[in-house]
C-alpha cells in the first residue's frame, strides 16, 4: 500500500470534544470525525493517523 509522505491534520478543539479533519499532501480535505479530549482519545487518533502517512503535521 502506497502512502503520502505527509498528512496535514486540523483540530477544532472544544471543552468536551475535538473535531478532526485531515488532508494528504496530494489530496482533498476529509472529515475524520469527533473524538474525546482525554489523553487516551488523542493517543488513539495518532495511532489511526499513522497508517495514512509517514509524517503527521498538525496545523
CA–CA separation, 24 and 38 (whole Å)? 25
| DSSP code, position 26 | T
Mean pLDDT score, 37-59: 91
CA–CA separation, 48 and 55 (whole Å)? 13
Q: How far is CA 44 from the centre of its chain?
A: 10
**pLDDT tens profile 6-43:** 999 999 999 999 999 999 877 899 999 999 999 999 99
Q: Domain residues of the chain, as ranges? A: 4-58
Amino acid at each position: 500500500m502506497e502512502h503520502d509522505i505527509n498528512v496535514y491534520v486540523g483540530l477544532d478543539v472544544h471543552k468536551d470534544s475535538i473535531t478532526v479533519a485531515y488532508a494528504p499532501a496530494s489530496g482533498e480535505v476529509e472529515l475524520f470525525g469527533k473524538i474525546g479530549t482525554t489523553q487516551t482519545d488523542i493517543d488513539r487518533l495518532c495511532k489511526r493517523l499513522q497508517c495514512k502517512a509517514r509524517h503527521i503535521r498538525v496545523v
